[in-house]
Each structure stands twice: as C-alpha cells, then as structure tokens.
C-alpha cells in the first residue's frame, strides 16, 4: 500500500478527539470508507479545517503512518462544501439519511458517485423527495436488495397495469397470490416509475415525475426496505420526526 495518496472523498462523519483533533470517516472515490485522523483540524487556520465537516467534497492528501497503522490527513482542498444542504431542514435530514445509510451499509460499487450526485441534486432540485427516492432505489439496487417491480415474487407472473401488494419485506405479490391479505400496494404507476428510472442515470431519472400520493407511498416503502437492510432504526429518521 502506498504511504502517500491523494484522493477525492466526501466526509461522512466526524468525531472530536481531544482539544484540537478530529477523526473523520471519508467515502473515497474508490467507493471505500476510510477513517482518517485530522490533527489540529479544529483550529481555523488548519489546512484540514474545512474538510472535516459532513457533506464536504474535496481532495485529500493522506499519509499512512505504518507505526500506528493509521491514515493521517496532510492537506485538503475543497471541491464543493455542499453548504446549501444546511439551509433547509427537510433537505438536511434527507442528506443526513444518505450518509447514515452509507455508514451502515457494506460498500458497493458506484456508491461514491451516487452520493456525490445525490448531495448535489438535494440542494438544487425543486422536488427533493425525488432525490431521496432515487437515492434509495439506487442504493438498494446496488446492494442487491431491490425487488423486481415487474413480477410477482411468489408465482413469478409478470404484471402489466396491475398493482403489487407488499408487507414490509422484500416480497411483492400479485393480486391473486395476495388473496386479500395485505392492504398496502404499489400501484402500476409506481411500478412503471421504478422500472423506467432504474434504467436511466440519476439526472435523467430525476426528470421523471410521479403524483404526490404515489411518491409518498414509494418513499415510505423504500424507507422500510432500507431499515430492514441496515438492521433496524435509522437515527436520522428519529431526529427528523416525520419531516422525511
């Protein structure tokens, strides 16, 4: 392993260590999480001062200390501080949820670019819920835990213009397999939306709209899936107190 590296990264988490030091968890452009010590980063004149804040995207110069087996930050230059996330509570909580999900997930290929794009669009898109939905769909897909939206998971029937019923698991059931057991369902519009947008890049996916009720249903469904995937409660959802 190289002793010195220069790498693009987004800051997922910071912890205070002593009077002046900060430990940060970075998501690197190689889709890996890296814990880095940023000595002196609490001082405003530190070169690492702006890099340790959550959501910050930039270039880190890192050094691997072989004695302590620890990565240390040497230099940081900002690409995007993503500071507009802080201006709106709903957007802030959505962006915080992205970070928490990634921290609780196994790494997956493409997660860095997904986060970078999602943080960008959560600040710029008028309908921030769409960004949240697109993030959840894509991260579940990349982790291999997204159900297929075109068929019944019990009988395998391909559904067209029919709803699929669900409880809060991954199974999606056609009307005859469900047989009146479950009341919650994804309507044909939601199923088409998921199928269609997953074939597009996120920017194109965000251009496709959905009515408000469908959007809420899908968001709730995906949040329940991600809760199962990350092993229970997501602290951000508790803090958000119904805002997302």
Footprint of Zn ion on this chain (CB under 5 A)? 152, 154-155, 157, 174, 177
Q: In angstroms, what is the minimal distance from the CB of 211 to Zn ion?
A: 26
12 vs 174 by CB, closer to Zn ion:
174
110 vs 169 by CB, closer to Zn ion:
169
SS3 215: helix
In 99-234, the DSSP E strands lie at 164-165, 185-186
Distance linking the first and last C-alpha atoms of the chain? 41
Q: In angstroms, what is the minimal distance from the CB of 157 to Zn ion?
A: 5
CB atoms within 10 A of CB 141: 16
155 vs 228 by CB, closer to Zn ion:
155
- Are 163 and 175 spatial neighbours (Cβ–Cβ below 8 Å)? yes
- The H-or-E segment that residue 119 falls in is helix 111-124
Give the C-alpha separation, 43 to 4, whole Å. 24
Give the C-alpha separation, 66 to 70, whole Å. 7
51 vs 147 by CB, closer to Zn ion:
147
Residue 158 phi/psi, 5-degree rounding, is -80, 125
32 vs 154 by CB, closer to Zn ion:
154
4-17/21-28 β-pairing: antiparallel
- Are 12 and 27 spatial neighbours (Cβ–Cβ below 8 Å)? yes
12 vs 194 by CB, closer to Zn ion:
194
Q: In angstroms, what is the minimal distance from the CB of 178 to Zn ion?
A: 8
Give the C-alpha separation, 40 to 129, whole Å. 38
């Amino acid at each position: 392993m190289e002793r010195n590296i220069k790498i693009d990264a987004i800051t997922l988490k910071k912890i205070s260590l002593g009077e002046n030091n900060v430990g940060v968890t970075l998501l690197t452009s190689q889709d890996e999480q890296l814990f880095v010590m940023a000595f002196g980063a609490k001082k405003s004149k530190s070169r690492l001062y702006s890099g340790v804040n959550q959501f910050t995207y930039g270039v880190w110069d890192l050094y691997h200390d072989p004695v302590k087996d620890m990565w240390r930050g040497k230099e940081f230059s900002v690409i995007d501080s993503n500071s507009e996330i802080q201006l709106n509570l709903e957007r802030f909580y959505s962006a915080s949820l992205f970070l928490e999900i990634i921290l609780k997930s196994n790494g997956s290929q493409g997660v860095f670019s997904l986060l970078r794009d999602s943080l960008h669009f959560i600040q710029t898109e008028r309908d921030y819920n769409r960004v949240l939905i697109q993030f959840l769909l894509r991260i579940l897909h990349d982790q291999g835990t997204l159900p297929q939206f075109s068929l019944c998971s019990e009988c395998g029937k391909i559904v067209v213009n029919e709803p699929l019923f669900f409880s809060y698991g991954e199974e999606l059931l056609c009307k005859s397999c469900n047989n009146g057991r479950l009341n919650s369902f994804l309507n044909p519009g939601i199923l088409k939306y998921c199928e269609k947008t997953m074939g597009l890049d996120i920017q194109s996916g965000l251009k496709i709209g959905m009515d408000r009720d469908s959007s809420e249903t899908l968001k709730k469904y995906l949040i329940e899936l991600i809760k199962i995937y990350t092993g229970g409660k997501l602290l951000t959802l508790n803090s958000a107190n119904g805002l997302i």
